[in-house]
Amino acid sequence: MSTLLHTTPVNDGFFMPGEQEPQDEIWIAWPERTDNWRNGAKPAQQVFIDVAKAIAEVTPVTMTVSADQYDNARSRLPEHIRVVEMTTNDSWMRDIAPSYVVNKDGERRGVDWEFNAWGGLVDGLYFPWDKDDQVASKICNLRGDARYRAPIVLEGGSIHVDGEGTLYTTEECLLHPSRNPDLTREDIEQVLKEHLGIEKVIWIKNGLYNDETNGHVDNLIHVARPGEVVLSWCDDENDPQYQISRDAYEVLSNERDAKGRQIKVHKVHIPGPLYISAEEAAGIDSCDGMEREAGERLAGSYANFLITNNRVILPLLDPKRDDDAKAVLQHVFPEHEVVGVNAREILLGGGNIHCITQQVPSAH
């Protein structure tokens, strides 16, 4: 049973730790909707299994799955991965699971944001999204964690925190008219401060080119640790990503974080550019909200990795670029094992490994 709290995390002494901190568990949701995942979602399911197995070697994994797919998921996942029945509208745990906050006394609570499928009736990707919006509360309930219902629309993939007072986000997403049109930048900062215990917000202008989430920050950058960020880069002046990455670099290198540090930026070149093939597009059912036409540019990024305990789970997306990306990350995380998973099938659904996972930090 989970208690709904009517105070705020910051008033209660809670803050969100960075992803580089120790974790107790990772949550993932089994993919099945055929207007997002091609060929009956079978190829995506295999990749979700690969990701879950790579994580489960260092961190316990719970997979949620619909009643219809329960037997399939249970039989295809190894026993040590917990499978629980839960209805969702799709499979983006980063955006629908709670953002966990902890305090100095070893307690942990969930922050449950309002979810509107990346834009609601303005430019959301699907309707309805009510089951996704219930996921954070259901996870808190199953785990027995107390929960705060935050008063704004927000997805976990639209923020990165360093756990020492700094939050990174994009103007493109958090100030988009489809999220919280009645709130100013200052109002949003205030809610973030109250709910995540942060002191400073670093606003990057835009997210990755053609990202259907309205520019989630987790597809453009990744916070490696306080004061160090991995940034998606592009060397081709004719690629629309070129200027987006340079603008982000400009902001990151001129800002100081909450503790006054200069931010060290590690550049990782984007894969591709990558596009949906005719064969891939033909395997996806038509949908009103999501563009899945042959030739559509995919928002591919190596920054969309997951840090989980002593591992980094990296999406492999392009044989011409994968090795370089892996080398950059191994350099940024010398103490971690960087494990690559072929992740094009997740990318076809509009996100990547960071987007399909949500961590429960250890509390001590």
Closer CB to ligand KQY, residue 272 or residue 349? 349
Instruction: Give how far Cα 170 sits from Cα of 4, 165, 178, 345, Å.
Output: 29, 17, 14, 26
- Alpha helices for 197-321 (secondary structure H): 240-254, 278-282
Q: Give CA 130 to chain center in angstroms.
A: 19
CB-wise, 174 or 258, nearer to ligand KQY? 174
The verdict on whether omega for the bond into residue 128 sits within 30 degrees of 0, i.e. cis, is: yes
Q: What are the b/e assignments for 313-329, b being 16+ CB within 10 Å?
A: bbbbbbeebbeebbebb
**Cis peptide leading into residue 9 (ω within 30°):** no
**Farthest-apart Cα atoms in the chain, separation:** 54
- Closer CB to ligand KQY, 219 or 241, in the complex: 219
Smallest gap, in angstroms, from Cβ of residue 322 to ligand KQY? 20
The C-alpha torsion from 61 through 9 and 118 to 343, rounded to 10°, is -30
Residue 234 annotated as catalytic: no
Nearer to ligand KQY (CB atom), residue 197 or residue 349: 349
37 or 148: whose CB is closer to ligand KQY?
A: 37
Among 203, 212, 239, 208, smallest CA distance to 221 is for: 208
CB nearer to ligand KQY: pick between 11 and 286: 286
Summarize as ranges the residues that interact with ligand KQY (CB under 6 A).
36, 92, 94-95, 125, 157, 212-213, 216, 218-219, 290, 349-351, 355
Q: Is 88 left (phi over 0), alpha (psi -120 to 50) or beta?
A: beta
75, two tokens: 């039989």
The nearest distance, CB 16 to ligand KQY, in angstroms, is 16
CA distance 95 to 304: 13
Integer Cα distance of 272 and 158 in angstroms:
23
What is the token pair recorded at 290? Answer: 């999501």
The DSSP line for 220-241 is: TEEEEETTEEEEEE---TTSHH
CB of 271 to ligand KQY, least distance (A): 16
Q: Nearest to residue 187, comparing CAs of 215, 152, 217, 160?
A: 152
Q: To the nearest whole angstrom, how small is the minimum distance from the Cβ of residue 214 to ligand KQY?
A: 10
- Residue 117: CB minimum distance to ligand KQY, A: 8
Q: What is the closest distance, in whole angstroms, from the C-beta atom of residue 126 to ligand KQY in the complex?
A: 8
CB nearer to ligand KQY: pick between 2 and 116: 116
Q: Which is nearer to ligand KQY, 86 or 117 (CB)?
A: 117
Min dist. Cβ of residue 135 to ligand KQY (A): 14
The span from the CA of 292 to the CA of 281, in Å, is 6
Give the active site residue among 140, 173, 234, 355: 355
Q: Which residue has the tokens 């629980």?
A: 84
Of all residues in the shown chain, the one whose CB is closest to ligand KQY is 157
Catalytic residues: 355
